Structure formats: C-alpha cells, structure tokens
Amino acid sequence: MKTLTHVVAAAALACLGGQALAAANATPAEATAMVKKAVVYIKANGKDKGYAEISNKAGQFTDRDLYIVVYAMDGVVRAHGANEKMIGKNLIDLKDVDGKAFVQERVDMAKASPTFWQDYKFTNPVTKKIEPKSMYCERLEDTVVCGGVYK
C-alpha cells in the first residue's frame, strides 16, 4: 500500500511539475494582448520611445519567453525585445532550421493582412533550444509588430 501511495504521489508531482512548466510559457492570448499594447504604446509615444521600450529587456514588453519585435517592411529590425544586437540589421533573407525564410514571409503576410499568425522555428530565449513558434503580428504603418509563443 505504501508503494502505491508513493507511485500516486510521484505521478501527481509529475503532473503538477508539467503544469508549472507550461505556465512558464506565454499563451497565444498573452502574445496578442502584448502586441496590441505595443502598438498602442508606439502610437501614443512615437517610434523612438516605443522602440526603445520594446528593446528594453527589463521593460514592459518582455515577459518570460514572450517579447516584442518590430520589423520594417524591408526586413530591417527596428526593435527587438530579446536581442538588441539585431536592431538595424536587415534580416529579410534569414531562414529557420527548416529553410523557411520567415522574415520575408512575415513581411509578405503583413502586406496582405493587417493581423495574422505565423509559424516557424526559433530559439527560445528561456530554454536556449530551437522550438516551434507561433508569432502574432499586426501591421503598423510601414512596420509589423510581433510577439510569439513557443509550443
């Protein structure tokens, strides 16, 4: 009986541990809300202040594995919440591990639709592993503002 109790307790802990890990990841609803908040912030404060706040890792647009990125329609990074070294770089030809030109696709999708979800693979800043990612994006004038979730 004692062994059965230990097995049940171990199983319960394993389930709870999995839930705690899942809670550490951002949800699609959180990504959508953060992108909308970033768009409002840029409109209210201007691009310079907006991009600086988005690129601030300790700022309001970074939460766990969720961060905001802003691309110009030519593929140049205007703001990046996880890697400030990307700012100013043209990543239009950047491909994921499967060879998908996701920045080009993102720009094309932004030209075709004011909001969209995009799937590709990218390095999770928390786990440091390449993982499937879904990115929610909104077109804002001549840019696309995005935030994503790792699956």
Element (H, E) at 118: strand 115-123
Average pLDDT over residues 11-22: 40
Question: Cβ(151)–Cβ(132) under 8 Å?
Answer: yes
Residue, of 9 and 60, whose pLDDT is higher: 60
Structural domain boundaries of the chain?
A: 26-150
What average pLDDT does the chain have?
A: 88
Does residue 54 surpass a pLDDT of 90?
yes
The pLDDT-based confidence of 61 (bands split at 50, 70, 90) is very high
pTM of the model: 0.84
Q: Which CATH superfamily is domain 26-150 in?
A: PAS domain (3.30.450.20)
